């Protein structure tokens, strides 16, 4: 029986997302071929290979011409897929170009460079989805700048806030993620070091003369080749070959894990606020239940929350590979491949989900208003405490409010009604406007200006 390889059946969060396509087996294969072709072209630019060889390898570097599954099975013998790929690429070009395929490079040079190419391409898609999410959340923040709702701390009503401020906070996290991923994407480097990170093989490709030595400025042929290789691929030129200096992968892992967590915050809020008994928001296209037709499940928020829980573990594996021995590690490098791809896919799917969630989110102001009244005015107790303390002292104010709250609960009445009697018993509190003091919408502090300031960030 034959099964399709990794169709995403158990990964609805990333299934069909742009990043899934950008990180598939064919995408990785194409990136490896792109690296091989770029290396030959770079050598041609540096006088180490004929220009025709660069053209020939580039023409043959088409992933559709290669058997991905066959390469995967043959990779077991060498421990990585580059070795069988080289054999197939050599066979795919005309005889005169074959000596210039993979000339002087190591397998890790190609696979690491391919991983950076895949990451750069995937991040372009991911950043587009983050931009969509940020724009949609900004519109929510503007529309609900002054929409009051209960602020919750440790699961309990605390003090009134506005939904606009909450949405502005979501946007701030999304933009933080965007900035981190953008910086990482710009720094993604090629890998080129040869057998042990010295670029020595490229000096051996052509005999040197005294004139060559002067022209190269004592740098050898590898240094200009490294720059040319980076230019061919649009990636950064590394300061050093990084076969066992895994900063690029660790930086990428950190930015992706941060992004997953940043998107997990609005997802967590939506999961809470969309509960039946709260009902302050709902997903525009909630998922149904075959057994319970009334349900409109917050599916997108659920899948984003799942990604946020998985991402730190994947990032931890990539951080663990920083402890890489020698000039090329056994196992540490190999341990990165699958977690890196899965992390890109998870976060890419979460970014798509966040964009769709924000674009379709329904806000229910009347439910927010009703929920503000659940504590019969106690949600503004902080304000009352401050005002009362200014007249009767902090301790007496606390005592008055505790007694009034207890009475309000016992009599199932509004706190303002109880306080009307209290004010009659406390001359110093005479003249206070209880309707004003107990109105939640009048106690949102700087929520509006804070929202405006957050939205000024580009």
What's the token pair of residue 25? 């087996």
Angle, helices 247-273 vs 163-187, to 10°: value is 160
Cα of first residue to Cα of last residue in the chain, in angstroms, is 53
C-alpha Rg value of the chain to the nearest Å: 30
Of 342, 333, 275, 283, nearest in space to 313 by CA: 342
Task: Give the C-alpha distances (Å, rounded to integers) separating 296 from 34, 276, 285, 303, 355.
Answer: 45, 10, 8, 15, 19
Distance CA 139, CA 145 (A): 10
Distance CA 457, CA 449 (A): 13
Whether 328 is catalytic is yes
Catalytic residue among 178, 328, 341, 352: 328
How long a stretch of residues is the chain?
Answer: 458
Burial letters 203-238, b for 16+ CB under 10 A, else e: bebeeeeeeeeeebeeebbbbbbbbbbbebbebbeb
Whether 244 is catalytic is no
Catalytic residue among 76, 208, 275, 289: 289
Diameter of the chain measured on Cα atoms? 104
Please give the helix or strand (H or E) that residue 398 lies within, else none.
helix 394-411
Annotated active-site positions, please?
Answer: 289, 328
């Amino acid at each position: 029986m034959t099964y399709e390889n990794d169709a995403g059946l158990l990964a609805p969060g990333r299934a069909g997302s742009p990043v899934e396509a950008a990180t598939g087996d064919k995408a990785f294969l194409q990136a490896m071929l792109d690296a091989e072709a770029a290396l030959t072209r770079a050598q041609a630019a540096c006088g180490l290979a004929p220009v025709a060889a660069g053209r020939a390898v580039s023409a043959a570097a088409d992933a559709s011409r290669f058997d991905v599954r066959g390469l995967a099975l043959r990779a077991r013998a060498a421990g990585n897929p580059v070795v069988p790929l080289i054999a197939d690429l050599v066979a795919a070009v005309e005889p005169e170009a074959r000596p210039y395929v993979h000339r002087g490079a190591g397998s890790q040079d190609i696979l690491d460079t391919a991983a950076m190419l895949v990451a750069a391409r995937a991040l372009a898609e991911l950043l587009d989805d983050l931009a969509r999410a940020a724009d949609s959340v900004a519109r929510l923040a503007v529309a609900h700048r002054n929409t009051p709702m209960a602020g919750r701390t440790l699961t309990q009503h605390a003090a009134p806030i506005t939904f606009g401020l909450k949405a502005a906070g979501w946007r701030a996290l999304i933009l933080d993620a965007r900035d981190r991923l953008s910086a990482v994407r710009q720094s993604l480097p090629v890998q080129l070091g040869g057998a042990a990170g010295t670029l020595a093989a490229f000096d051996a490709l052509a005999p040197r003369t005294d004139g060559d030595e002067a022209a190269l400025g004592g740098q050898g042929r590898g240094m200009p080749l490294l720059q040319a290789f980076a230019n061919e691929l649009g990636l950064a030129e590394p300061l050093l070959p990084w076969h066992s200096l895994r900063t690029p992968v660790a930086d990428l892992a950190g930015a992706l894990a941060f992004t997953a967590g940043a998107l997990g915050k609005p997802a967590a809020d939506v999961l809470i606020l969309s509960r039946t008994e709260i009902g302050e928001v709902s997903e525009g296209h909630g998922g149904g239940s075959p057994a319970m037709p009334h349900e409109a499940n917050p599916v997108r928020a659920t899948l984003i929350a799942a990604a946020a829980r998985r991402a730190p573990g994947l990032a931890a594996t990539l951080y663990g590979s920083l402890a890489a021995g020698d000039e090329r590690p056994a196992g540490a490098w190999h341990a990165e491949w699958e977690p890196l791809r899965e992390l890109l896919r998870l976060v890419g799917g979460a970014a798509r989900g966040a964009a769709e969630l924000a674009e379709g989110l329904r806000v229910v102001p009347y439910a927010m208003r009703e929920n503000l009244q659940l504590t019969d005015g106690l949600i503004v107790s902080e304000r009352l405490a401050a005002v009362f303390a200014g007249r009767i002292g902090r301790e007496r104010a606390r005592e008055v409010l505790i007694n009034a709250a207890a009475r309000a609960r016992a009599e199932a009445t509004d706190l303002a009604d109880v306080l009307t009697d209290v004010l009659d018993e406390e001359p110093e509190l005479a003249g206070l406007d209880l309707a004003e003091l107990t109105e939640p919408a009048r106690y949102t502090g700087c929520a509006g200006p804070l929202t405006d300031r957050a939205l000024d960030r580009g």
